[in-house]
Amino acid sequence: MENEAEEQLALIAETRARLADRLVTPWWYHLSLGALMGVLVLAIGLGIGNGWFAVVVAVVVFGEGVLVGAYRRTMGVWTATWDGFPRGTVWVAFGVALVLFGASAAVRLWTALVWPVWVIAAVTAVAFVVLGRWTDAVWRRRLRADA
């Protein structure tokens, strides 16, 4: 009986390891998400009118929905929860995003400069790609470690 339990646990560990190997986000996902977030930062920092800002937000939200749908079709899975994700990783990712959004708003509120907003938008796009790939790696390590 004990040997059978060990075999089952080994099978579970092997399955989780195979899943971790399979769950590599497609190259276009984080690039697209980064571009959407860069556009949002531009909208914040350039201070477009309320009506246009609402349009930009709607496009970004719609774009994120399209990305999620495309990911689900491509990968065959999607996690709808962050419950099992390491909390520190989530806070770092959200913190970086908030700082970048806030920096764009601060440039708009306190200066008449436009070029820093474009730089922040570019940094945002790159940061979302880097953070996305980092969180993917953390998730895969977590899948293997919990096995």
8-22 pLDDT, tens digit per residue, is 888 888 887 887 777
Q: What is the dihedral of CA 13, 15, 19, 21, to 10 degrees?
A: 70
Tell me what the pLDDT averaged over the chain comes to: 86
Alpha helix segments (H runs only) across the chain: 2-22, 27-46, 50-75, 87-110, 115-146
Q: Tell me the whole-structure pTM to 2 decimals.
A: 0.81
